[in-house]
């Protein structure tokens, strides 16, 4: 199978500082790929390069077969993105947000309407359809933001710490949504600080000081480093970090 994300020595420098150093990895279609690392390890930088928000300094990368340097428009049509910062419009209602994002991805109004009903049902937000997003609880907002990032049926969705500040029950529900999306063939690229979430991933990579220190399935990583949970593997690797925030 052809990988959906393929990078080869992808690097980003800010002056003398190398935020992401020669990242090389592949992600398969429908895979849930966990992207772990301490604060400042370079996760967000890497993700922003893959989404076309940041110009790489060197190296190669393709997303859904398109080049990150030259084919950003094609890439953008095929990816969804949910940033660390909550990014729906507070002063628009749930429906209006879905309509707006669907609209700027070039969907037809009919299509948007059908999709809206589908998403509202999936999120059980039918009653809140006309509520302003600012009046929703944080957990609901995050779930809505995730669904909105999928509104145009992308091949890949990038999630940057999607569950930050969310309660455990909602986090669990959030991961149900992720699984649901992956079942439908969407590739999920997710960064997180919750190690229990890392266990839900098909494969995880652990970034330390801008480089990928380990990459494998959670089970194999645990076996390799001789721990019975990912948290300990993470500590073992992250402890070696020299740079801090």
Partner 1 sequence: MKTLFFLLEKEFKQLMRNKGVIRTLFIMPAVQLILMPMAADYSVKNIHIAVVDNDHSTYSQKLINKIKSSGYFTLTGYAPSYKEALVLVEQDKADLTLHIPAGFERTLVRENTEKIYVAINAISGTKASLGGAYLTSIMQDFNNQIRLQWLHGTPDNTPQVTVAPYYWYNPFMDYHLYMVPGILVTLITALAAMQSAFNIVAEKESGTIEQINVTPIKKHIFIIGKLLPFLVLATLVFTMGLILARVIYGIVPLGSLVTLYLSLIMYLFAMLGLGLLISTYSNTQMQAMSLAFFFINIFNMLSGVFTSIDSMPLWAQYIVETFPPSHFIKIMRMVVLKGSGLGDITYHLAAMFVIGLVFNTWAVLNYSKRS
- Would you put residue 93 in left (φ > 0), alpha (ψ -120 to 50) or beta? beta
Residue 72 as a binder of partner 1 (CB under 8 A): the answer is yes
Burial class (CB within 10 angstroms; exposed 0-12, middle 13-18, buried 19+) of 112: buried
Residue 185 as a binder of partner 1 (CB under 8 A): the answer is no
Distance CA 4, CA 44 (A): 19
Q: Which is nearer to partner 1, 83 or 208 (by Cβ)?
A: 83
Q: How many other CB atoms are found less than 10 A from the CB of residue 11? A: 19
Q: Which is nearer to partner 1, 86 or 200 (by Cβ)?
A: 86
CB of residue 159 to partner 1, shortest distance in Å = 12
DSSP E strands in the chain: the ranges are: 5-14, 17-27, 32-37, 58-63, 66-67, 79-82, 156-160, 187-191, 203-208, 211-216
Distance CA 42, CA 52 (A): 16
Query: For residue 155, which phi and psi values (nearest 5 degrees)?
Result: -80, -35
Q: Which of 24, 87, 131, 202 binds partner 1 (CB under 8 A)?
A: 87
Residue 89 as a binder of partner 1 (CB under 8 A): the answer is yes
CB of residue 57 to partner 1, shortest distance in Å = 12
Question: In the stretch 32-71, what mask flags binding to partner 1 with x, by CB under 8 A?
Answer: -------------------xxxxx----------------
CB of residue 105 to partner 1, shortest distance in Å = 6
Distance CA 217, CA 73 (A): 32
Q: Which is nearer to partner 1, 34 or 102 (by Cβ)?
A: 102
Query: For residue 134, which phi and psi values (nearest 5 degrees)?
Result: -65, -20
Q: Which of 16, 70, 73, 226 binds partner 1 (CB under 8 A)?
A: 73
Q: Which of 17, 39, 91, 127 binds partner 1 (CB under 8 A)?
A: 91
Give the interface size with partner 1 as a residue count (CB under 8 A): 29
- Spatial CA neighbour of 146 closest among 127, 113, 170, 111: 170
DSSP E strands in 45-135: the ranges are: 58-63, 66-67, 79-82
Q: Which is nearer to partner 1, 100 or 200 (by Cβ)?
A: 100
Residue 122 as a binder of partner 1 (CB under 8 A): the answer is no
Among 90-98, 169-177, 201-209, 214-222, which window interacts with partner 1 (CB under 8 A)? Answer: 90-98
Q: Which is nearer to partner 1, 109 or 219 (by Cβ)?
A: 109
CB of residue 239 to partner 1, shortest distance in Å = 32
The footprint of partner 1 (CB under 8 A) covers 51-55, 72-73, 76-77, 79-81, 83, 85-92, 96, 99-101, 103-106
């Amino acid at each position: 199978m052809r990988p959906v994300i393929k990078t080869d020595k992808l690097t980003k420098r800010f002056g003398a500082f190398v935020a992401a150093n020669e990242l090389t990895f592949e992600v398969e279609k429908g895979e849930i790929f966990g992207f772990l690392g301490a604060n400042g390890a370079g996760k967000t930088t890497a993700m922003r390069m893959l989404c076309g928000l940041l110009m790489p300094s060197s190296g190669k990368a393709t997303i859904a077969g398109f080049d990150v340097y030259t084919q950003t428009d094609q890439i953008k049509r095929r990816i969804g993105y949910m940033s660390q910062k909550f990014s729906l419009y507070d002063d628009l209602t749930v429906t209006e947000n879905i309509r707006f994002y669907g609209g700027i991805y070039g969907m037809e109004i009919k299509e948007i309407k059908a999709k809206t009903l589908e998403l509202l049902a999936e999120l059980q937000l039918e009653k809140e359809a006309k509520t302003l997003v600012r009046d929703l609880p944080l957990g609901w907002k995050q779930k809505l933001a995730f669904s909105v990032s999928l509104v145009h049926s992308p091949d890949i969705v990038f999630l940057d710490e999607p569950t930050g500040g969310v309660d455990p029950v909602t986090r669990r529900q959030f991961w149900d949504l992720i699984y649901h999306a992956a079942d439908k063939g969407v590739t999920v690229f997710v960064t997180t600080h919750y190690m229990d979430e890392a266990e839900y991933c098909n494969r995880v990579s652990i970034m330390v000081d801008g480089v990928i220190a380990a990459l494998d399935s959670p089970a194999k990583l645990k076996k390799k480093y001789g721990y019975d949970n990912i948290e300990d593997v993470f500590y073992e690797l992250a402890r070696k970090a020299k740079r801090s925030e």
